[in-house]
Amino acid sequence: MRITVVGDLLLDVDLWGPTQRTAPDGGMPIVDISRESVRAGGAGLVATLLRQDGHDVRLVAAIGVDEAAARLRGLLEGVELHLGASNAPTPVKTRLQAGEGTIARFDVGCAPAPAPEVTDEMRAAVGEADAVVVADYGRGMTADAGIRSSLAAVAAHVPVVWDPHPRGSRPIAGVVATPNRSEAAGFAATEDMEAAAARLRAEWCAVAVAVTLGAEGVLLHADRVERRPARVVNVVDGCGSGDRFASAVAAALAAGAGLGEAIDHAVHRTADFLEAGGVAALAGLGVR
């Protein structure tokens, strides 16, 4: 089964270490870095998860020419790459981890980017898919007219799951959209999730809107409004849960599952992912 991931590439870095003392010149905690974890983020994480699941994965994205881009290419071994020039630095998001949580995050190269370059090869990779996941991180790939045209054409006959971003572009018609609670509230300008899902489904002409609600499960708006419960798990690190959910929905739909079945499958896979430690569970699978 060929699944194409379309979206924006990031490099995610975690720095780990204990903090047992404070700096004498300011009282801030000192973290003694003992470990670094580097992984493909954004659309790269979605591709990594799908490859881990055993799928034939193609990645359509833009990439730079800097050191972070070279590291990303190395982390995406096993994924068929269809990459255009980003014309911008590679975004790098570094989390400083101490004890049981993140105490700071440092972003580099995350300023608004110019329009990326898109090739005929990239558009063709979209059209040849059995399913598509759009991982929009607001850096312009989904705003490209050619990519949007290819997505619109393929959505007429295969599942397209669109994980939207507040700074991203409007989803095309015919997708299953998977915003989280805060994204849905922002897009629809309401905190009422049932109203938000209904409004977004109508505005986006979506097949369905599945709002992820963390421990509360998923609010699914398709032919009717449904609440799909989630298994209670101890979440240490929720990073990547939205990517896990969207990728699992797409894979299940491509395998022939009905919408409700695909959502339940994705909720279960996301719980497993979080229970295993989230992105920390990816050690050895596109993470260094």
Taking CA atoms, 110 is separated from 11, 24, 33, 57, 199, in Å, by: 11, 32, 24, 26, 30
- The alpha helices in 155-234, defined as continuous H runs, are 181-188, 193-204
Q: Which domains does the chain have, with CATH numbers?
A: 2-10+40-90+113-282 (3.40.1190.20)
pLDDT, one tens digit per residue, over 145-173 is: 999 999 999 999 999 999 999 999 999 99
Asked if 227 contacts 217 with a C-beta cutoff of 8 angstroms, the reply is: yes
pLDDT, one tens digit per residue, over 173-183 is: 999 999 999 99
Q: What is the mean pLDDT of the chain?
A: 92
Q: Could you tell me the pLDDT band of residue 281, with boundaries at 50, 70 and 90?
A: confident
Active-site residue, from 8, 14, 243, 264: 243
Rounded CA separation 114/128 (Å): 27
Tokens describing residue 241: 């849960």
Q: What percent of the chain has pLDDT over 70?
A: 98
Residue 31 in this model has a pLDDT that exceeds 50: yes
R_g (Cα) of the chain, nearest Å: 19
How many of the other CB atoms lie within 10 Å of CB of 115? 14
Strand partners, 208: 176
Question: Is 264 designated active site?
Answer: no
Strand partners, 84: 62
Strand partners, 101: 98
Residue 82 in this model has a pLDDT that exceeds 70: yes
Q: How would you class 39 by CB atoms within 10 Å of its CB: exposed for 0-12, middle for 13-18, buried for 19 or more?
A: buried
pLDDT, one tens digit per residue, over 249-280 is: 999 999 999 999 999 999 999 999 999 888 87
Asked if 12 contacts 110 with a C-beta cutoff of 8 angstroms, the reply is: no
| DSSP structure class, residue 98 | E
Taking CA atoms, 275 is separated from 110, 204, 244, 268, 281, in Å, by: 30, 33, 13, 10, 9
Tokens describing residue 98: 């101490």
DSSP-derived 3-state class of residue 42: strand
What's the pLDDT at 286? 42
Rounded CA separation 220/271 (Å): 17
Taking CA atoms, 166 is separated from 7, 92, 139, 170, in Å, by: 14, 19, 11, 10
Rounded CA separation 141/116 (Å): 6
Rounded CA separation 219/197 (Å): 8
What's the pLDDT at 36? 87
Which residues neighbour 198 within 8 Å (Cβ) at sequence distance 6 or greater?
221, 225
| DSSP structure class, residue 28 | P
